[in-house]
Amino acid sequence: MDRFKNKNIVIDTSTTWIYIGELVKEDNNYYYLQNVDAFDISETSLSKQEYLMMVKRDGIVPNRKNVKVLKSKVVAITLLEDILEK
């Protein structure tokens, strides 16, 4: 996880929520992010990929200062810069 620290990442969860922000630390149970776009994908007609491409292109618009994400709900973690565009 060291290569992700202090970088903008995407945390995809087993729920409808995705989290996009700067990883500041982690412990046994949580990932800690700051300046986070916490987004419920069920509230839009966009797919996750379409939403992520938009954020990569336009930049993160944070709606949370700090978030901790429960590791047991995490499906994938990706650097925002690694999101591929069509």
Please give the residue range of the domain that contains residue 78. Answer: 2-82
pLDDT at 50: 92
Q: Give mean pLDDT, residues 20-49.
A: 96
> Can you give the CATH number for the domain in which 30 is found?
2.30.30.100
**Which residue, 22, 19, 11, is CA-closest to 38?**
19
Q: How many residues in total does the chain contain?
A: 86
d(CA 1, CA 44): 30
Q: Is the pLDDT of residue 27 over 80?
A: yes
Round to whole Å and give the CA distance between 47 and 18: 12
Quick one: pLDDT at residue 85? Answer: 79
Q: Which residues contact 82 (CB under 8 A, 6 or more apart)?
A: none
Contact assessment for residue 53 and residue 85, using Cβ atoms and an 8 Å cutoff = yes
How many separate domains does the chain show?
Answer: 1
Which pTM was predicted? 0.93
- pLDDT, tens digit, for every residue of 44-84? 999 899 999 999 999 999 999 999 999 999 999 999 999 98
